[in-house]
Structures are given as structure tokens and as C-alpha cells.
Structure 1
Amino acid sequence: MRLELTKFQKKRVKHFKTSEQVLFFQELGELLQSGYSISQSLDILASAHTKWQHWLRRVIKELNQGFALHVILRKDVSNQILLQLKLADQHGNLTETLVAIGENLAKLQQQQNKVTQVMRYPIILFGLLGMMFVGLKYFLYPILNQWQDTSTIGTKESHNYLYFIVGMIILFSLVIIAFCHRKNPRQKLILLSYMPIVGVIVKTIFTYQVTQQLSTLLSSGLTIPEILDEISQGDEKSNRMTIILANHARQHFQKGYTIESYILKQPYFNRSLAGYFSRGHEPKVLADYLSYYAKTQFQLLMQQTDRLIGTLQPLFFGVIGVAIVILYMSMLLPMYNSIGGLYQ
């Protein structure tokens, strides 16, 4: 009999950080591989990690009440992980799946750190530029304006010009946000895939994540159509993008498309993925191939991210340098005009 969530589970807030999930799934899988039952494994983890004790005691209690692991964890981990746990529980390879989830999360965390590293430089540099602008506007310009009244007019004109530029940037950003908001998740993914510079990285990230997920699910003995059926039955409110993509693929397969031709037609996949589906491998054999391919895609992602960082650093430093020169000119020109006015 299928058990529903308790009232406590529905109210529980997601608090499981990615770094903690990596430890939890890897250690739980290793304990199960050593021959411990899932309750014994969780009890050992509760003793080893005092921070998790209260939560793990509750997990053990709900397991003893007949709840499945994926039901208990549905407020703590992503829907992709829940699907893997559900199918692994149904097909009897929960131990291997838990270890694989831990490894995948570790790579995902490394990927997120790389993306954060890419974004850190422009944010810091533009933050410094903003601080310089505020300092000039509220501290230096008032002093310069006291020297000569005419400089006030010039300063106001430059300020109006700057406000116009900032206003246009904000308006343009709002238009883009409104345009993207009207698109469904798949359409947004397509737009990102076509973007210059970042589009290549977006395709590699998506290809890696899909390949890694398929590898784990195929190792359970499922076929691609069965995986798509399972995904389509999920909660669209909490997993909208995955369900839309799965339904889109199902519709094309029903029209007679092969997996290979479908992948080649989608702009958000790396085309090299299609070759693995043209050989007619059994699901578990295909899972091994895709697991290897996912590793190559992860390595490619790290290389692409490093190249992007190497490109962005001098580019943003150049932009900041030009902006600093413009700010200094806006500071020195009124001073020059003021000094020139003293000799007239």
C-alpha cells in the first residue's frame, strides 16, 4: 500500500546543502555495499554526523513505518534525485544508485563553483566601478561645483547623459526579462544555447547532466521510453523543465523520430551524443557508454569554463579601465575649466 506524506513532511523546509548531500549519499551507499541494512546505515550516519542526528532519527522512524526513501527525502533533495531513488528502489539497485548520486553531486558542486568563479570577476569589478562613481558624484563633484558655477551646468549635463544611459540599460533589461518570462523552459534553453560565448557552455552543461541522469537510470534496466514515461508522471509545478523536455521528446518519438535524429535536431545537445544511440546497445551496456561519455563532457566543461575565465578577465579589466579613464576625465575637465576661468 502506498503511504502518503505525513503532515510534518509537507511542512519541512529544504535544508540539505549540496556538500552535505554528497557526503550523505556516498557514505550511505558505501555502508549498504558493506552489508548493512538501510536502517543500520542511517543509524551509523546519525552517530558519525551529530548535525544530522535529529533528522536521521526521523528518517529511520518513517522508514520503519513503511515509507519509501524517495518519499521521505522529497523535501530535501531535487526531483531528479528522487526519480533515481524511486526507480532504483523499484528495480533493486539502490546501493549502486546512492553511490552514483554522491559522485554526481560532487561533480555538480565542482561545476557550480566554476560558474561562480566566472561570475565573480565582473561582479567585483563593476562593484568597484560603482563605488568610484558614487564617490565622485557625492564627494568630489560638490567640491568642484563650488569652484565655478559654470562647472555645475556641465556636471548636470553629464549627469543627465549618464542617467539617460542607465535608464536605457534598465529599460532594455526589463524588455529582455519580460520576453524571456513569456517563454517556456525549453524555449529559454534554446535561447541560451544560441547565445554567443556562453551558448557552448550551456550545451555542454545540459548534455552532461542529461547523459549522467540517463546513465544512472539505464543501469536499472529501464529503456529510454520507460524513463520518459516515469519523468512525465512527475509534479510539473516543482519539475516543470524536465517534464516539458521529456514530453517534447516523447511526442517526437511517437512521430517516428529515432533518438539519434532527435538529438541532432535539438540545439541544446552536443552532437557527439547522438552516436551512442545509433548502435542498438542494451540499456545496461548503453549506461556504461554514457557514463564514460558523461565524464568526457565534464572534463570538456571544465576546459570551456577555464577558457571563458581567461577570456573574460582581460575583457572586463579593459572595460573597467576605459570606465575609469572616463570617470577621471569627468573629474579633471571641470577642474581644468575652473582653473582656466581664474586667469580670464
Structure 2
Amino acid sequence: MRGHDTLSRQWRRLRLHLKRQHGTKTVKFSAAEQGRWFLLLHDLLAVGFSLQHALSFTKTVMPGLIPILSDVERQLAAGEMLATGLQKYVSQDLYYQLRLAEQHGALPQTLSELGTLRMTAVRQRRKLRSLLQYPLILLGMLAMVVCGLIIFVYPELHSWQARPGSDRWQTLTINLGIYLLTCLLIVGGLHWYRWRRLSPCQQMIRRCHWLIVGRSYRLYYSYYLTSNLAGMLRHGLSLQEIIRVTNQYGKQSLLYQFSAIIRQLVAEGEQFDRVIVRYPFIPNELVVFINKGITLEELGDELTVFAQLQFKRLVCSIERLLVWVQPMIFVLIATVIVTLYLSILLPIYHSLQGVA
């Protein structure tokens, strides 16, 4: 009997342990939570909290993140870095950025930048939702009008038509719509297939050349690249050491792609400024900074200021994109309304011609 009770207690403990592990894996670390936590952690470190004490404090004021922060605390207690504890909760590029900052003593500054970037993205996402609210209501009402026309009006218009061939315009419109939809699906499938076959470097190049949002991608890549290079250079890492460090990163990360480009240039003996035009995610100003002939620490300081400027440009670029959201949707609504008017008036016009 006593052995049975002991076995039952062990089984309950095992289930509780598995439940806790499962809960830790399913907890989501959203962008808004990341932004608030990064900024709070930066403030605590700035006033003298140790990293372990700051984690314990954030568990108290942000109880929703207790499973994640408890896991991070266990990693720190085992001698791991903060970035290692957060690795499975954040993106790959964000993990490497935190890892570099922690290795080179720039963690508080990086936490502030990441928190500001995350909160800016959250505010812009909320602004986008507010801008889309009214146009989406109009689109919903317009969809109801289209359904009403298809069910009630178009059959009546069809019955008014006097000539056997007078519905050719409507048939032509339907066939044209089906043809265009089929072409769009085929072209979209081909583009998706080609995109999946591109290398990570080629995908980044394509993103930088996208219409409307390409400039925002270039500014983000420029900010991310220069801010991380600045941190490594400020701590005296040479070009060979930077290549050796970033070569250990995941192949999907931007820093690995940059180090691969540098390795290729060194191996082939090409000039950096001649090849940089092939990679729009590398800022052209980087060549100017490198050719100044200043020390690595001074180059790191100047790249830090340049990264901050790129961050401000990135925020302004996204803000300008949001301004155009409503006008573009209103143009789409106006186009649909004009098309509906034509679809009603043209059959009536053809019917009147038949009567005359």
C-alpha cells in the first residue's frame, strides 16, 4: 500500500513536471511583451540592478511572462547567457543581436534599442488597424451590395433583354474575370515556387527591391547590420575576428550573409566599394566610413550614430507608408462602385436599343 502511494505521488509529480514544460513551450512572447520587457530590463540595469535581480523583479510586475522568465532564470543559473535563455522565444536575428551585445558589454543599450523598435512596431500596427477599420466597414457594405445585385438585380436585367445576343457583354465580363483570376493564381504560384528556391541572400536582395515597402526593408537591414558591426568594432574586433564570430551563426541570419560576402571578397581580392552595389541591404555609407582610415573604436562610434539615424529613417518610412493605406483602399472602393454602375447601366442601355 505504501509503495502504491509512493508510485502515485511520483506519477503526479511527473505529470506536473510535464505540464509545466508543455506550458513553457506554448507561452508566446509577443512583440508588445518583448518591447515592454526589454525597456523595463534596460531601466533596471541602468539603476544598478543585477541581471538576476532584474529578472526576478520583472516576474513580479509582468506575471504573464513567468513561464518564460523562469526558464531564462534556470539558464542563467546554469551559467548560460541571457540570449541563450531567450533563443527559443525570439527570432534568430534578435537572438544574435542580444548575444553580440552581451558578449561585448553593450546589453543595456541594445535592450533599449530593441524595446523601442518593438514598441514602435506595435504602435504602428495599432495605427494600421485603426486606419483600416472604416475602409473595411465600407468594403463589407459594398460586398453586401454586390451580393444583392447578383441575387436580385442581375436576373431582372437579364429578363428585360429583348435580343438573344444582348447578354454577350455580361458573359464576356464573367469570362474575363475568370481568366484574370486564373492568371493571378498561376503567376502567384510560380512566384512562390521561385521564392522558395532562392538563397537567403537573394531573398534579402529581392525584398530591398519590392515596390512600396522595399525602402523600409533596406533601412531595417542597414540599421541591424551597422548597429551590430558598431558593437563589435567598439570592442576592438578586427575584420578577421568579425568574420570568424559571425561565421558560426545560422545561415538565415543577416550577419552570416554579410560575413559570407566579406569572405568572398577577401578570397577573390575584389574591392569592397565595387561589389557593394550588388547587395542593397549593405548601406553605401559603410564604404565611406571604412575608407576614412580611423581606428576601429572610432569607426564603431561613428557606425553607432549612423545606426541611430537609420533607425529614425526606418520609423519615418513606415509612418509614410501608413499615410497611403486609406487613400489606396478608397480608390479600390471607388473602382468597384464604378464597375457596378457600368454592370447595371450597360445592360439597360442594350435593352433600350433593342426596343428602339
When normalised by structure 2's length, the TM-score is: 0.76
Which aligned pairs between 1:1-344 and structure 2 lie closer than 5 A?
Answer: 8=21, 12-13=25-26, 15-91=28-104, 93=105, 96-110=106-120, 124=136, 133-148=146-161, 150=164, 152-236=167-251, 239=252, 242-257=255-270, 259-308=272-321, 314=327, 317-318=330-331, 320-338=333-351, 341=354, 343=355
- 1:76: Cα distance to partner? 1.0
Which consecutive residues of structure 1, in runs of 5 or more, have no partner in the other structure? Answer: 1-6
The answer to whether the 8 A contact 1:22-1:103 is kept is no
Decide which structure has the larger Cα Rg and report it: 2
State the one-letter code of the partner of 2:171. K
State the one-letter code of the partner of 2:77. N
Matched position secondary structure for 1:12: helix
State the one-letter code of the partner of 2:298. V
CA displacement 1:125-174 (0-9 Å, x = unmatched): 99567666555434532342343475655423321122112222222222
Matched position secondary structure for 2:48: coil
Classify 1:130/1:148 alpha carbon distance in 2 versus 1 (closer, same or farther; 3 Å).
Answer: same
Q: Name the Cα RMSD after superposition.
A: 3.7
Matched position secondary structure for 1:15: coil
State the one-letter code of the partner of 1:229. R
Classify 1:50/1:319 alpha carbon distance in 2 versus 1 (closer, same or farther; 3 Å).
Answer: closer
Classify 1:296/1:135 alpha carbon distance in 2 versus 1 (closer, same or farther; 3 Å).
Answer: farther
The answer to whether the 8 A contact 1:13-1:76 is kept is no
Provide the identity percentage.
Answer: 26
- Give the structure 2 partner of residue 4 of structure 1: none
User: How many residues are matched?
Assistant: 333
Which consecutive residues of structure 2, in runs of 5 or more, have no partner in the other structure? Answer: 1-17
State the one-letter code of the partner of 2:299. L
Classify 1:194/1:88 alpha carbon distance in 2 versus 1 (closer, same or farther; 3 Å).
Answer: closer
State the one-letter code of the partner of 1:211. T
Matched position secondary structure for 1:172: helix
State the one-letter code of the partner of 1:337. H
- Give the structure 1 partner of residue 9 of structure 2: none
When normalised by structure 1's length, the TM-score is: 0.79
